[in-house]
Structure 1
Amino acid sequence: MSEKLLQLASFGIRRTGSPGEERTRDWIATALESAGYRLGLTAFSADTLVDPAVAIELSSKTYEGFLQWMPPISLPAPLEGSVRLSLPDNARPGDCVVRAMQGPFSAYWTDALEAEVVAAARQGAAAYLMCTETPSGSIFAYNRSVTSSDLAIPVILYARRDHDLILAAAHQKHEARLSLSATRTSVSGVSLIGARLGKGAGLVISTPMTGWFGSVAERAPGILLARQLAEAYAKASFPVWIVASSGHEIGHLGMQQVLGALAPSPEEVRLWIHLGASLGATAQDEDYPLKSVHFRMATPGIEDLVDEAFGPMALSPLDPAQMRNGETGDVLSAGYKDVLGLTGVAATFHTPVDDGAAVNTGRLEQYERALRGVIDRRFAQT
């Protein structure tokens, strides 16, 4: 797997509609075609940014920033020059408000964060600056759907390592120079589904292709496992579908489209396996203050199979309601009954430093063995 991991890492930024997504999809498609799968594609359009660049200059030092999805359609003029930094309780119109506490280390943008940005906008703030409590110390980006309303003002994310200095400047109401440049355009996110015919109800294996930055340890394990299992069950007697979805970080748009257009009906599926984030990303557990955590969710009809197969791996169990935010939740909401969802979080999750070093290939092999065990036992029951 290590050679394939390096190939996936070489594809670059994996954001929806990016060349990295296209390279990833072509890589999966080539493998599926070679294994005899019939391919189908479904696409959606989304407004996005081309090469957004953000910098925060403070006391002759420049700090890196990142624009949280999505920015306002019209970027306010005050961002192009000197502005005062302030805290939410003493902001004046035109200031850039700095969030005093670090944001939650959570994959998804929250309603509470949304309310904070709206409140700052009502004060007349030009932008909202925040960092996230990420163990890597790097910039962290949140998943946020493009179907949500536009953010009222730009949200500029910066690295945790810079928080104390920027927060101190806000306490003292110092001037900073902000620069933000971006071009808005429309891109296509394209999801892939490979299918092999067979008898009876079949197997679906799904995984997202896209994410923030390179997202190598976040996305590559699921992609690798989906490919391995696709090849392992290419000659199975039952039908097999492999789904590689786009748009993960902007509202699961690809998965929702697949469920509405290309996926088999719930009655045609005996087992749906969703391979989520950071599977096997344990190799850097001693490098950061927070160890990786890994979860499994099984619907009642397959709980015993999953418990037996994954027991030695000591994954933390979740119930279906706890998986509602991810694509596993989309699958459950679409009416599929026997669903296994796997996911995890590593220290480099959603950061620019996710270069794949966190992936433990030995751990991935454990996942593959456990997944084969679940599949073999489930289809032996037919």
Structure 2
Amino acid sequence: MNPASFFADYDAFGDRRTGGEGDAAAATWLLGKAGATGAEARLLPAPFTRLTPGRAALEGAGFAFEGLPLFDGGLTGPEGIAGRLGPIGSDAPIGVAEMDPAAASLPGNAFAQARAESRHAGIVIALRTKPDGLAPLNAHDLEAPFGPPVLQLAGRDAPRLLALAEAGAEARMVAAGTRAPALSHSIRAELPGAGPPLLLLTPRTSWWTSTAERGGGILAWLAALKALAGAQRSRGVVGLATCGHELGHIGAHQAFAAEPGLATDAPLVIHLGANLGAAEDERLTVRSNVPGMAERMAALLGAAGHPAAPLEVVTGGKANGEAHEIEERGGRYLSLIGKNPWFHAPEDRWPISVDCARAGAIARAVAALSVEAAR
């Protein structure tokens, strides 16, 4: 599979936020790609509660910002909330802060705790990335929203926003939206063989197009399925490309509720996380709770042409992304997660944000380890 052609095709669907038109089109495309590897592929329906954003803005004398509501936070009515701006933790009615979009990568994160304990009537955050676009926080509590309304702004708004908070400016904040039942789909691809099967796990949805954030994991997932289909195996294989990553891993939760053994009984779950082959940052964390597995993955990455210096090779510790779901359920995992200057930003697009050479090396190494694990 040619990485450049793959990423160009991947990028063409545009935004693939869970439940949207791009999500549905991308699911159909990936279903066909998975089937073409030789695996038996099908859609797994994933019902959920979708937030459709309404007006989301902060306005005052001489300034106006537009953004998005936090998807698992409270909402305002169309009239919004009026009051003085001040730093989060102050006694101002509307608290203000700047944040990294990765700050809400795990459930129960520090910002979630701050929201639960907040005395602010509303909160405004500016999310900082390299391009300083609007890079939303993940919404782990989508099905049980809590806390005050939160308005998310682009990072480029941070300097002025913080200055207004320092000055105690008066403002009106609106973070409106409607919640309603909706449907997305995960992809389940299976190769026959003895059980319990090897599990290949990667998320497939995101806030925007997210070409470097999600595309590298999908590329490696397909490469591994294709290699496994043509290899001698002593066990079966299941590939899950799950929806709802940005909404609390809802696709993974529902898939494991239906088939608990996929997470708990697999000889290994290979988690292909975010930013595998993102441009301008070669760092890659290779983590496993199986002794020696991370080191073996690092050796295969080197053999495939990935530079060794940026690898962080770890046994144990805190798993992130969907690997966290495996760890929580007591499963055995190997997880790959990279870095991305455009993380969660709409500017994460082909060809600017992708390093095809590294993405291809990661895919080849993952395919090689998958074949070893299924023998």
Q: What's the TM-score bracket when you normalise by the shorter of the two chains?
A: 0.7 to 0.9
Amino acid at match of 1:309: L
Number of corresponding residues? 363
Report the equivalent of 1:288. none
Structure 2: distance between partners of 1:201 and 1:116: 41
Q: After superposition, where does 1:1-382 map in structure 2 within 5 Å?
A: 1-72=3-74, 75-76=76-77, 78-79=79-80, 83-88=83-88, 91=91, 95-99=93-97, 102=99, 105-108=102-105, 111-120=109-118, 122=119, 125-146=120-141, 149-199=144-194, 202-238=197-233, 239-262=236-259, 265=262, 269-282=266-279, 285=280, 291=281, 293-298=283-288, 299-300=290-291, 302-311=293-302, 312-314=306-308, 315-323=311-319, 325-337=320-332, 339-356=333-350, 357-379=352-374, 382=375
Q: Would you say the 8 A contact 2:14–2:209 is kept in 1?
A: yes
Please give the TM-score of this superposition, normalised by the length of structure 2. Answer: 0.85
User: Residue 249 of structure 1: CA displacement?
Assistant: 1.4
Structure 1 unaligned regions, length at least 5: 286-290
Structure 2 unaligned regions, length at least 5: none
Q: Which moved more, 1:370-379 or 1:209-218?
A: 370-379
Residues 312-341 of structure 1 show CA distances to partners (whole Å, capped at 9, x for unaligned) of 532212333321x3211222333433x321
Distance 1:271 1:115, change over 3 A: closer
Residues 343-380 of structure 1 show CA distances to partners (whole Å, capped at 9, x for unaligned) of 1121111122222421111111111222233234444x
Structure 2: distance between partners of 1:44 and 1:243: 13
Identity of aligned residues (%): 26
Q: Would you say the 8 A contact 1:198–1:237 is kept in 2?
A: no
Distance 1:230 1:255, change over 3 A: same
Q: Would you say the 8 A contact 2:38–2:226 is kept in 1?
A: no
Please give the TM-score of this superposition, normalised by the length of structure 1. Answer: 0.84
User: Residue 5 of structure 1: CA displacement?
Assistant: 1.2
Structure 2: distance between partners of 1:78 and 1:266: 46
Across the aligned residues of Structure 1 and Structure 2, the Cα RMSD in angstroms comes to: 2.8
Amino acid at match of 2:24: E
SS at match of 1:233: helix
Amino acid at match of 2:300: A
Runs of at least 4 residues off by over 6 Å: none
Q: Would you say the 8 A contact 1:305–1:378 is kept in 2?
A: no
SS at match of 1:230: helix
SS at match of 2:349: coil
User: Residue 267 of structure 1: CA displacement?
Assistant: 8.6
Q: Would you say the 8 A contact 1:105–1:133 is kept in 2?
A: no
SS at match of 1:365: helix
